[in-house]
Structure 1
Amino acid sequence: MTMSDTEKEKSAPVDARVPPVAVWQVLEKLKGQDLIDWRVAEVKNRPSVKERNLDMGFPFGWYPVMLSSELEAGVVKPLRYFSTDLAIWRGMDGRVRMLDAYCKHLGAHLGHGGRVSGNLIECPFHAWRYDGEEGVVKEIPYARAIPPQVKRKCTRTWHVEEANRWIWMWYHPQDVAPLWEVVELPEASDPEWTDFEVYEWNVWGSLQNMAENGVDFAHFQFIHGTANMPKAEMRWSDWGRGADVRARMGTPQGEVDGCISFDTVGPGQNWTRFTGISETLLVACLTPVEQDHIHARFCFTQPKAQAEGPMGGLARAMIKDICKQFDQDKVVWDRQRFEPNPIICDGDGPIPQFRRHYSRFYAKPDGGPEGGKVEPLKVAS
């Protein structure tokens, strides 16, 4: 007995993806290299930082700057984050160090042409050698004496840690010491999980606007086309926040129950676990370059048994869809301004509570958190 065509149609899975939403029109013709180029290209003729209300400073916290594998022992590289030129290097002892980039002698950039001398960084111009912990000049090969101005701390040193296969820098405008630790994610060092698959964007907007997206539950339906309005269970702590966002997700095989569980510690460490369609950990590396420029990198890892097995195609499709969602958000972020007094309606999510919480990461002149007294949070690794 064979199934009739009508019976086959009734039993076939229903494609539950919603019709395309507005931002998809911007992205539908971008494929392959064109899409990759669009993700990192500068948005020209955008309004100024002041016009977009983005002149609010940078929130303090730990931020990822580069993959650990990108910096070998004895190598110096230039960086620019937080409107500051930086020089980062790995000493021969394997430790990473970072200083402000410019030599106090005649202003050469230590990250361009500088080299490692033992554990010191050597200026490419006259070989003045700086220590990365004390911020002092330790050696000048041709001089009989080191000037006293550089024998004491003369340049900013930066707190640097390595965790989750990344190098992290601590940013605070008053150079206050770290108030919490980088959270270790077990999947990032688990040999049963894949190496990171990395995707990159430049977002021409505000880190706070991007962070606010996580509690703006209504946008999931209208930007990303979720099958319904997601439901969320929020978590708040002194220095962190998170949520379990549950939604019916549309797939070519019909709707499935999915959960997006995201957590942040400070503004700079963000990770999301996806379950339902395919188990995936996303380490979202978002670091400000300027007040209207965020360097974004998404690092994905999945269980090898899933990614390399029969479900591998579904696992790859999951990553592609997450990147597509970030593309959709970027269309808005690139031209969005910050609204200091937004008009909120029911169904928008806890945006006012988010803003009260996030305000603590903007330092007051005395170096303390803007949002009031907050006890340091220590997270066990």
Structure 2
Amino acid sequence: MMSLRKKGALPPVYPNGWFALLDSDQINIQQVKYVTAMGENFAVFRSSNGNINILDAYCPHLGANMAIGGVVRGNNLQCPFHGWKFDGTDGKCVNKIQQNDCPDDTILTKTSVKKWESFEANGFIFVWYHSENEKPSWYPPRDEMISNWTYRGRSEHYVNAHVQDIPENGADVAHLSVLHGDMALGGQYAAQANTSLWNILGNHKWKAEWKADKDQWHLSKLKLEHKLKVFKNFVIFQMNVTADQIGPGLVILNFKTSFGPMKLVQTVTPVEPLIQKVVHRVYCPIYLSLYASILLFMESVMFERDVVIWNHKKYIEKPLASKQESTLLAHRKWYKQFYSANSPTFSFRKETIDW
């Protein structure tokens, strides 16, 4: 069904930046995992010293996938096929194999696999992707509160959309009252929520502002004011949210509520050109543990309303944007800087089969 959907004139499918491959707690010491993203094949492993290393998954010898059956030896990853070992810090082959069917030592010492820049922060393992092979010009921040607070759970969704659609949602202020005005308990679909008993009892009111950071080009900020009203008029809950967009695939949402503060970390990773893996992890002071779990549930319901739209929408290169939607156009201009000359583009080709 996805192949039949009109996709529109799409921007490049893989922006340059840091993208999450795994949650930190998904990989143990001396464990290796195979991850595919941005059209690449990664072997992600945690060395005996606890550090994360990321190499190309395929051994240059005979093409075995070192993340499937491979073994972590100290700081090295050993191929399961012929035992070649590669240093996680630079990708170089480190062993000398004395066997009749293997190359001589000179060839081995000149052999290497690609080493990918990695960074671990805020409960995630990130890889640096750049279509021009440039070194990282910025890094995700390490949030001390996330390190000290209690982790209360996660959600994971796969979205059939362009990677840009998801962060662009934050700058689309106009959609909040339509898609997210009805109570989360009303359901996943906004149309259903509009006719439910929950919508009669209460609804959400939103006020939003999005701006690009003037000093750091890879940052932008969304400020949200939220009120929960019952019987249309009475405010029973209010909170302020600041969402810091950090590059193309990371958002840290800071919640200030009448009960206390919380944080939600969102990562967006292109698994394929039009398939995005979106993960949310929530953190809070221990006394807000129950409330944070409720927040994660409510956020998931609201997010799934967006997913329904994303899974079936067409990308419009030049939207008929109203004055209120000028921030959406500003966000597109800001996000465009994460593409470069060699950023991969999406091409759809119909093929015929000759019998």
TM-score by length of 1: 0.76
2:321: which partner in 1? 344
Equivalence for 1:87? 43
Residues 49, 292 of structure 1: 8 Å contact kept: no
Judged with a 3 Å threshold, the aligned counterparts in structure 2 of structure 1 residues 174 and 156 are, in CA distance, closer, same or farther, namely farther
Q: 1:150 to 1:318 in 2, by over 3 A?
A: same
Instruction: Choose the corresponding residue for 1:286, options 268, 275, 278.
Output: 268
CA contact (8 A) 1:127 1:140 kept: no
The offset of 1:296, in angstroms, is 1.2
CA 174–277 in structure 1, closer or farther in 2 if over 3 Å, else same: same
**Identity across aligned pairs (percent)?**
25
Alpha-carbon distance change, 330 to 103 in structure 1, aligned in 2, over 3 angstroms: same
- Alignment coverage as a number of residue pairs: 315
- The correspondence for 1:269, drawn from 217, 227, 250, is 250
- Residues of 2 paired with 1:116 and 1:244: CA distance? 44
State yes or no: 1:241 paired with 2:220. Answer: yes
Q: CA deviation at 1:147?
A: 6.2
Separation in 2 of the partners of 1:69 and 1:87?
Answer: 16
Q: How does 1:146-157 map to 2 (within 5 A)?
A: 146=104, 151-152=109-110, 154-157=112-115
Equivalent residue of 2:116, what SS? Answer: coil
Residues 244 and 182 (structure 1), Cα distance of their counterparts in 2 relative to 1, 3 Å cut: same
Is the Cα contact below 8 Å between 1:139 and 1:146 reproduced in 2? no
Q: CA deviation at 1:300?
A: 0.5
1:370 corresponds in structure 2 to: none
Question: Which residue among 296, 302, 311 is the counterpart of 2:284?
Answer: 302
User: For residue 214 of structure 1, what is the aligned residue in structure 2?
Assistant: 170
User: For residues 84 and 197 of structure 1, do their structure 2 counterparts lie closer, same or farther at Cα, with a shift above 3 Å needed?
Assistant: same
Q: CA RMSD in A?
A: 2.4
Instruction: Report the CA distance between 1:148 and its aligned residue.
Output: 5.0
Partner-residue secondary structure (3-state), 2:164: helix
1:54 Cα deviation from its structure 2 partner: 3.9
User: Which residue of 1 is the match for residue 141 of structure 2?
Assistant: 183
Change (3 A) 1:79 1:315: closer
Q: Deviations 1:176-205 (Å, cap 9, x if unpaired)?
A: 111102211122111xx2124111111111
Give the 3 Å change call, closer, same or farther, for CA 351–194 of structure 1 in structure 2.
Answer: same
- 1:170 matched to 2:128? The reply is yes
Task: Please give the per-residue CA displacement for 1:192-222, whole angstroms capped at 9, x wherever unaligned.
Answer: x212411111111111011110010111111
| 8 Å contact kept, 1:129–1:140 | no
Please tell me whether the aligned partners of residues 227 and 250 of structure 1 are also in contact (alpha carbons under 8 angstroms).
yes
SS of 2:63's partner is: coil
Deviation at 1:319, TM superposition (A): 2.1
1:137 counterpart SS class: coil
Question: What is the deviation of 1:337?
Answer: 2.5
Contact 2:42 2:57 in 1 (8 A): yes
Contact 1:218 1:349 in 2 (8 A): no
> 1:164: Cα distance to partner?
1.5
CA contact (8 A) 2:13 2:274 kept: no
TM-score (normalizing by structure 2): 0.81
Task: Give the residue type in structure 2 aligned to 1:181.
Answer: Y
Structure 1: segments with no counterpart, 5+ residues: 1-44, 368-381
Q: 1:165 & 1:219 partners in 2: Cα distance?
A: 30
3-state SS of paired residue (1:300): strand
Residue 141 (structure 1) aligned to one of 56, 72, 97: 97
AA at the equivalent of 1:79:
V
1:223 aligns with one of 166, 179, 190: 179
**Which residue of 2 is the match for residue 22 of structure 1?**
none
Once residues 315 and 107 of structure 2 are traced to their aligned partners in structure 1, the CA distance between those partners, rounded to angstroms, is 43
Secondary structure of the 2:128 match is strand
CA contact under 8 A between 1:54 and 1:292: conserved in structure 2?
Answer: no
Contact 2:35-2:43 at 8 Å conserved across structures? yes
Encode CA deviations 1:45-104: one digit per residue, 9 max, x unaligned: 113698444461311111222122222221111111112111111122222111111111
Give the distance between the partners of 1:126 and 1:70, measured in 2 at CA.
27
Structure 1 SS opposite 2:50: coil
Tell me, yes or no, if the aligned pair for 2:282 and 2:292 is still in contact at 8 Å: no
Write the deviation string for residues 24-56 of structure 1: whole angstroms up to 9, x where unpaired: xxxxxxxxxxxxxxxxxxxxx113698444461
SS at match of 2:165: helix
Please say if 1:357 is aligned against 2:334.
Answer: yes
Q: 2:180–2:302: 8 Å Cα contact kept in structure 1?
A: yes
Q: Tell me how far apart the structure 1 counterparts of residues 109 and 240 of structure 2 sit (CA, whole Å).
A: 55
Contact 1:201/1:295 (<8 A) preserved: yes
Report if the CA contact (8 A) 2:86-2:112 is conserved. Answer: no
| Cα gap change, 1:246 to 1:79, in 2 (>3 Å) | same
Once residues 7 and 249 of structure 2 are traced to their aligned partners in structure 1, the CA distance between those partners, rounded to angstroms, is 25
Which residue of structure 2 lines up, in the alignment, with residue 11 of structure 1? Answer: none
Which residue does the alignment assign to 2:78?
A: 122
